[in-house]
């Protein structure tokens, strides 16, 4: 049989596996596949169409399944076995496939299922991308987006969350990667033209190994991007993956301190290697510096005297060579800044004032001059080479295989205990922003999934010791083990530039899913723009719109403290509350409102800088 037809209570399906066509009929719209399925092999890209060898339908009592198998991909001898399943009780569709009898290193990518035709007119719809905090790309957008750097790898800045979708009028679909670790999305959009999105799948190590699966919801209620994120949140909750702040506080009461606390980000010492991108050849004296720990103690005492009741300190550069050096072997504590005794005094001062003392740490960047460095402990690429970088202060480095990282964490925090230095919080750098690593070393191979598991294990070790776990941004495979991050910024065209503009329209997709699960600080200074904040926007408005906390500077004056207190009072009130909705008031993208589960609403206007909380 070449075509299968099914009419369910919610959706109708028309599927032809030989021609590789599918249409999904909902009350508001028919969504149809466009393009073609392909397999990318070592010898080229091979279409799946024309290679069907068998197909069939099965009724399980809870679902209707349509199987199709494809073979004849050159001389490789493998089969791609596909399945489309319609769940009768929910109307959800799932698409899954496996590669059978696959030779090593033969299959480089599989492009299946196909993308759905969008076809929306200007002002009629948009595409939803979990690119950093989130953005929507309006139909007929005036920029070209086509593959390459725009092929979004899941669990990087391209896609914090394994979800995307499209909306036309009241109709929308949400796609969730149920097997997200070796996946990306391919996007193609010509300026003023249509937008095509589809999944793309990569090998785990040298083969595909396991079945790949996506789940789709088709909605007709006009809920748009908010509804899409609530579909994903429900998916996480159903699978026990949604770990809220309340749950994290119950496990580690120290996390509760973050509610109503601003973040003070400061540092102690630095050494810039001659091999570093940042090395100052013109004035070598600027490549080394140290500030006494006692000076930082004086700073927090001043803030306490000015009436600041809570602060979470994040301290960079406490190790022997200072910031971004010698990891994972940063000890002994920097002697020029006063050594271990002075660091202990700063930590003790923070708690004396009712503050919390947190540090920067690192278990991925693996420096050649680290005392325990051994290239055998590094991630190994498929060709036997190793990753290399010499950008950061410490100079030449590779990547530590994260299979080994938890043991380093235990060793180093045992050392803090031996020294009597109380660590209230620790930031394990880059674990929640850079892509998941793979390692082909025969003694410690590691998949992307295992990379995520080891990163979470490192953070969970901190939790087990009552230490607040934090990291850089918010790739959500790590979020269940995080309580705090540096930021969860919007995707702007020049991150950190004062004149940076958001790509598409900024929307808090991540917070619609995860707001009540972790604490996110925002830059709330009086100037416009900052890291991940569009240049025309006041960061304070993003902080309150998102119900987050903010940073405070060491030299904060009364005006900054007053502004900080506005942010932290609201954050203490809503930090553990789900963000229920976000909207553009009257269709004005500069006038926005968010609503939280306790009924708190925040309204901001980025053009007039007006705001209200009610």
Residue 285 pLDDT exceeds 90? yes
- Spatial separation of the C-alpha atoms in residues 571 and 552, rounded to whole Å: 14
Sign of CA dihedral 46, 51, 54, 59: positive
Cis check: omega of the bond before 475, within 30 degrees of 0:
no
Q: Nearest Cα to 597, choosing from 245, 261, 165, 248?
A: 245
Q: With 70 as the cut, is the pLDDT of residue 104 above it? A: yes
Contact criterion met (CB below 8 Å) for 577 and 600: yes
Helix/strand/coil for 492: strand
Q: What integer pLDDT is reported at residue 222 of this predicted model?
A: 87
Residue 398 phi, psi dihedral angles, 5° rounding: -125, -155
> What average pLDDT does the segment 223-231 reach?
96
Rg (CA), the chain: 26
pTM assigned to the model: 0.95
Q: Report CA-CA distances (Å) from 291 to 269, 283, 359.
A: 6, 19, 15
Q: What is the pLDDT of residues 213-224, one digit of tens each?
A: 999 999 989 899
pLDDT in tens, 504-522: 899 999 999 999 999 999 9
Helix (H) or strand (E) holding 137: strand 135-138
Beta bridge partners of 485: 471
| Backbone φ and ψ of 164, nearest 5° | -150, 175
Strand partners, 356: 312
Distance CA 106, CA 209 (A): 12
Beta carbons of 402 and 447 less than 8 angstroms apart: no
Q: Decide if 521 contacts 532 (C-beta within 8 A).
A: no
CATH 2.70.98.10 assigned to domain 4-238? The reply is yes
The β-bridge relationship of strands 425-428 and 356-361 is: parallel
DSSP calls for 371-424 = TT--GGGB---TTS----B--STT-SEEEB-TTSHHHHHHHHHHHHHHHT----
Domain formed by 243-485, architecture: Alpha-Beta Barrel (3.20)
* Residue whose C-alpha is closest to residue 571's, from 511, 482, 531, 513: 511
The Cα–Cα gap between 450 and 441 comes to: 14
Q: Is the pLDDT of residue 555 over 80?
A: yes
Q: Which of 181-195, 264-278, 291-305, 446-460 has the lowest mean pLDDT?
A: 181-195
| Beta pairing class for 521-522 and 549-550 | parallel
How far apart are alpha carbons 197 and 453 in whole angstroms?
29
Those residues whose C-beta lies under 8 Å from the C-beta of residue 148, and which sit 6 or more positions away, are: none
Domain coordinates of the chain in residue numbers? Answer: 4-238, 243-485, 487-614
Q: What is the distance between the alpha carbons of residues 66 and 15, in angstroms, rounded to a whole number?
A: 9
What average pLDDT does the chain have? 94
pLDDT tier, 75 (very low <50, low <70, confident <90, very high otherwise) = confident
Estimate to the nearest angstrom the gap between the alpha carbon of 105 and the chain centroid.
29
pLDDT tens for 402-416 read 999 999 999 999 999
- The answer to whether the peptide bond before residue 328 is cis (omega within 30 degrees of 0) is yes
Residue 464, sorted as left (phi over 0), alpha (psi -120 to 50) or beta, turns out to be: alpha
Distance from the Cα of residue 562 to its chain's centroid: 31
Q: For the chain, give me the number of helices (H) and strands (E)?
A: 9, 40
In the block, residue with structure tokens 């791609």:
80
Specify whether the CB–CB gap between 425 and 356 falls below 8 A.
Answer: yes
pLDDT band at 332 (very low <50, low <70, confident <90, very high): very high
- Residue appearing with tokens 């790509």: 503
Whether residue 180 contacts residue 162, with contact meaning beta carbons closer than 8 Å, is answered with yes
Q: For residues 412 and 391, what is the distance between their CA atoms, to the nearest angstrom?
A: 25
Task: Give the DSSP letter of residue 105.
Answer: T
What pLDDT was estimated at residue 498?
57
**Strands of the sheet with 79-87, listed across from one edge:** 52-59, 63-70, 79-87, 93-100, 212-219, 171-177, 163-168, 125-129, 135-138, 505-506
520: nearest Cα among 159, 234, 134 = 134
Sole residue written with tokens 């090593």: 104
Is pLDDT at 499 greater than 70 in this prediction? no
Average pLDDT over residues 574-579: 98
Taking the C-alpha atoms of residue 109 and residue 41, their distance in angstroms, rounded to an integer, is 7
Confidence tier at 495 by pLDDT (50, 70, 90): low
CA distances from 464 to 252, 254, 255, 361 (A): 8, 11, 12, 17
The distance in angstroms from the start CA to the end CA of the chain is: 60
pLDDT at 147: 59
Q: What is the pLDDT of residues 365-386, one digit of tens each?
A: 999 999 999 999 999 999 999 9
């Amino acid at each position: 049989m070449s075509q299968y037809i099914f009419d369910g209570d919610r959706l109708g399906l028309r599927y032809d596996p030989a021609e590789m066509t599918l249409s999904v009929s909902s009350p508001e719209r028919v969504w149809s596949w466009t393009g073609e399925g392909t397999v990318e092999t070592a010898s080229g890209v091979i279409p799946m169409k024309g290679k069907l060898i068998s197909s069939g339908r099965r009724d399980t009592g809870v679902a209707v399944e349509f199987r199709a198998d494809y073979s004849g991909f050159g001389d490789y001898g493998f089969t791609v076995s596909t399945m489309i399943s319609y769940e009768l009780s929910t109307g959800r569709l799932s698409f899954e496939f496996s590669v059978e009898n696959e030779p090593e290193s033969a299959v480089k990518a599989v492009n299946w299922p196909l993308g759905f035709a969008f076809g929306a007119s200007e002002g009629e719809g948009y595409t939803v991308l979990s690119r950093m905090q989130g953005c929507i790309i309006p139909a007929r957008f005036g920029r070209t987006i086509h593959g390459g750097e725009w092929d979004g790898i899941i669990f990087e800045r391209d896609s914090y969350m394994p979800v995307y979708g499209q909306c036309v009028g009241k109709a929308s679909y949400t796609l969730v990667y149920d097997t997200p670790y070796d996946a990306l999305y391919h996007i193609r959009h010509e300026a003023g033209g249509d937008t095509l999105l589809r999944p793309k799948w990569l090998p785990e190590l040298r083969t595909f190994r396991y079945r790949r699966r996506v789940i789709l919801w088709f909605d007709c209620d006009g809920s748009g991007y908010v509804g899409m994120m609530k579909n994903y949140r429900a998916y996480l909750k159903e699978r026990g993956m949604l770990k809220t702040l309340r749950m994290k506080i119950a496990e580690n009461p120290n996390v509760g301190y973050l509610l109503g606390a601003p973040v003070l980000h400061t540092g102690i010492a630095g050494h810039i290697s001659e091999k570093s991108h940042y090395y100052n050849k013109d004035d070598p004296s600027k490549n080394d510096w140290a500030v006494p720990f006692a000076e930082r103690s004086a700073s927090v005492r001043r803030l306490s005297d000015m009436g600041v009741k809570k602060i979470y300190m994040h301290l960079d550069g406490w190790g022997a060579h200072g910031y971004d050096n010698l990891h994972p072997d940063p000890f002994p504590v920097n002697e020029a800044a006063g050594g271990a005794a002075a660091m202990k005094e700063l930590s003790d001062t923070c708690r004396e004032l009712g503050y919390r003392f947190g540090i920067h740490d690192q278990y991925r960047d693996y420096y050649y001059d680290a005392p325990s460095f051994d290239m055998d402990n590094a991630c190994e690429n498929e060709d036997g080479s190793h990753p290399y970088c010499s950008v950061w202060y410490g100079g030449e480095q590779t990547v530590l295989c994260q299979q080994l990282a938890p043991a380093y964490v235990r060793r180093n925090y045992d050392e803090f205990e031996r020294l009597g230095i109380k660590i209230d919080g620790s930031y394990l750098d880059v674990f929640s922003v850079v892509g998941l690593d793979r390692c082909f070393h025969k003694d410690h191979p590691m998949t992307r999934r295992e990379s995520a598991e080891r990163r979470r294990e490192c953070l969970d070790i901190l939790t087990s010791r009552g230490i607040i776990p934090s990291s850089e941004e918010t790739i959500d495979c790590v979020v269940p083990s995080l309580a705090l991050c540096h930021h969860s910024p919007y995707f702007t065209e020049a991150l950190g530039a004062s004149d940076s503009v958001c790509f598409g329209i900024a929307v808090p997709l991540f917070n619609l899913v995860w707001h009540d699960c972790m604490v996110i600080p925002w830059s709330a200074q009086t100037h416009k723009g900052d890291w991940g904040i569009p240049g025309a926007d006041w960061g304070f408005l993003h902080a309150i719109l998102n119900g987050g906390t903010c940073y405070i500077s060491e030299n904060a004056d009364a005006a900054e403290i007053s502004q900080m207190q506005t942010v932290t009072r609201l954050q203490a009130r809503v930090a553990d509350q789900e963000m229920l909705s976000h909207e553009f008031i009257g269709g004005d993208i500069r006038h926005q409102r968010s609503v939280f589960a306790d009924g708190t609403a925040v309204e901001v206007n980025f053009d007039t800088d007006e705001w209200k909380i009610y």
